[in-house]
Chain A
Amino acid sequence: MAMNLLLPGTAEAAALKLPTLSLWGGVDPFSGRLTNPALPHCGESVKGKVLMIAEPVGSSSSSAVLLELLQAGNAPAAIVLGRADAIVALGILVAREMGWATIPLAVMPPNEQAKVADGATIRVE
Chain B
Amino acid sequence: MAMRIVADTARLLGASRLVPVASAHIDGCLYHGDSGTLFAERLVNDGGRASVPTTLNVGALDLVHAGRVRLPPERMAMARRMMDAYLKLGCRPTWTCAPYQAGHRPALGQHVAWGESNAVVFCNSVLGARTERYGDFLDICAAISGRAPETGLHLDDNRRPSLLVDCAVLDRRLVEEEAFWPVLGAWLGENAGGRVVAFAGLPSKIDEDRLKAMGAAAASTGSVGLFHIEGVTPETFERPREVLKLSGTMLHAARDRLSTVRAKPGDKVDAIAVGSPHFSFAEFQRLLGHLDGRKPAIPIYVCTGRHTLAEIERAGLDTSALTIVADTCIVVTPILPASGGLLMTNSGKFAHYTRPNTGFEVLYGSLADCAETAVAGRLVREESLWR
Q: Which A residues are closer than 8 A to B by beta carbons?
A: 6-7, 24-26, 29-30, 35-38, 55-65, 67-68, 70-72, 83-91, 93-95, 97-98, 100
Within 8 Å of chain A (Cβ to Cβ): is B318?
A: no
B329 to chain A, nearest CB (A): 12
Compute how far the CA of A63 lies from the CA of B120 in the bound complex, rounded to whole angstroms. Answer: 16
Q: Once the chains bind, are B136 and A7 in contact (CB under 8 Å)? A: no
B56 to chain A, nearest CB (A): 14
Q: With a CB–CB cut-off of 8 A, which chain B residues contact A67?
A: 32-33, 35-36, 39, 136-137
Which 10 residue pairs across A and B have the least CB separation, nearest first?
A: A68-B33, A87-B135, A63-B135, A71-B35, A90-B135, A64-B136, A64-B32, A36-B356, A63-B136, A29-B32
Task: Find A90's partner among B137, B220, B352 (CB 8 Å cutoff).
Answer: B137
Compute how far the CA of A88 lies from the CA of B355 in the bound complex, rounded to whole angstroms. Answer: 23
Compute how far the CA of A7 lies from the CA of B4 in the bound complex, rounded to whole angstroms. Answer: 15
Q: Once the chains bind, are B356 and A60 in contact (CB under 8 Å)? A: no
Q: Once the chains bind, are A26 and B356 in contact (CB under 8 Å)? A: yes
Task: Find A64's partner among B8, B36, B189, B353 (CB 8 Å cutoff).
Answer: B36
Q: With a CB–CB cut-off of 8 A, which chain B residues contact A94?
A: 5, 39, 137
Q: Quick one: closest A residue to B194, CB to CB?
A: A83
Q: Quick one: closest B residue to A88, CB to CB?
A: B135
B81 to chain A, nearest CB (A): 15
Q: Once the chains bind, are A98 and B35 in contact (CB under 8 Å)? A: yes
Q: Once the chains bind, are B32 and A90 in contact (CB under 8 Å)? A: no
A91 to chain B, nearest CB (A): 7
B104 to chain A, nearest CB (A): 16
Q: With a CB–CB cut-off of 8 A, which chain B residues contact A85?
A: 223
Known pairs A60-B134, A64-B28, A93-B8; A30 contacts B35 (CB<8 A)? no
Within 8 Å of chain A (Cβ to Cβ): is B357?
A: yes
Q: Once the chains bind, are B30 and A30 in contact (CB under 8 Å)? A: no
Known pairs A55-B193, A68-B33, A68-B36; A60 contacts B136 (CB<8 A)? yes
Compute how far the CA of A65 lies from the CA of B34 in the bound complex, rounded to whole angstroms. Answer: 11
The winner among A7, A85, A86 for most chain B CB atoms within 10 A is A86
Q: With a CB–CB cut-off of 8 A, which chain A residues contact B135?
A: 60-64, 86-91
B165 to chain A, nearest CB (A): 19
List, sorted by A's number, 13 A–B pairs whose CB atoms are closer than 8 Å: A24-B32, A25-B331, A57-B189, A60-B115, A61-B30, A61-B136, A63-B28, A63-B137, A63-B138, A64-B35, A84-B12, A90-B9, A90-B135
- Given A72-B35, A97-B1, A98-B38, 14 more contacts at CB 8 Å? A36-B355, A37-B356, A38-B356, A60-B133, A60-B136, A61-B27, A63-B28, A70-B35, A86-B12, A86-B132, A87-B136, A90-B5, A90-B136, A93-B12
Which B258-286 residues have a C-beta within 8 angstroms of A?
A: 260
B185 to chain A, nearest CB (A): 13
Compute how far the CA of A68 lies from the CA of B28 in the bound complex, rounded to whole angstroms. Answer: 12
Compute how far the CA of A36 lies from the CA of B331 in the bound complex, rounded to whole angstroms. Answer: 13
Compute how far the CA of A87 lies from the CA of B132 in the bound complex, rounded to whole angstroms. Answer: 10
A18 to chain B, nearest CB (A): 13
B313 to chain A, nearest CB (A): 30
Q: Once the chains bind, are B33 and A56 in contact (CB under 8 Å)? A: no
Q: Once the chains bind, are A98 and B138 in contact (CB under 8 Å)? A: no
Q: Once the chains bind, are A58 and B117 in contact (CB under 8 Å)? A: yes
Q: Quick one: closest A residue to B151, CB to CB?
A: A86
Compute how far the CA of A61 lies from the CA of B33 in the bound complex, rounded to whole angstroms. Answer: 12
Within 8 Å of chain A (Cβ to Cβ): is B112?
A: no
B316 to chain A, nearest CB (A): 36
Q: Once the chains bind, are B357 and A86 in contact (CB under 8 Å)? A: no
A4 to chain B, nearest CB (A): 11
Compute how far the CA of A113 lies from the CA of B34 in the bound complex, rounded to whole angstroms. Answer: 33
Task: Find A60's partner among B120, B331, B355 (CB 8 Å cutoff).
Answer: B120
Q: With a CB–CB cut-off of 8 A, which chain B residues contact A26?
A: 356
Q: With a CB–CB cut-off of 8 A, which chain B residues contact A91?
A: 135, 137
Within 8 Å of chain A (Cβ to Cβ): is B96?
A: no
A79 to chain B, nearest CB (A): 13
Q: Quick one: closest B residue to A72, CB to CB?
A: B33
Compute how far the CA of A86 lies from the CA of B222 in the bound complex, rounded to whole angstroms. Answer: 15
Q: Quick one: closest B residue to A100, CB to CB?
A: B35
Interface readout for B188-221 with A: 1 if CB under 8 Å, 0 if not?
A: 0100011000000000000000000000000111
Interface readout for B107-121 with A: 1 if CB under 8 Å, 0 if not?
A: 000000001110010
Compute how far the CA of A84 lies from the CA of B133 in the bound complex, rounded to whole angstroms. Answer: 12
Q: With a CB–CB cut-off of 8 A, which chain B residues contact A90?
A: 5, 9, 135-138
Compute how far the CA of A70 lies from the CA of B39 in the bound complex, rounded to whole angstroms. Answer: 13
Q: With a CB–CB cut-off of 8 A, which chain B residues contact A65?
A: 32
B100 to chain A, nearest CB (A): 16
Q: Quick one: closest A residue to B31, CB to CB?
A: A64
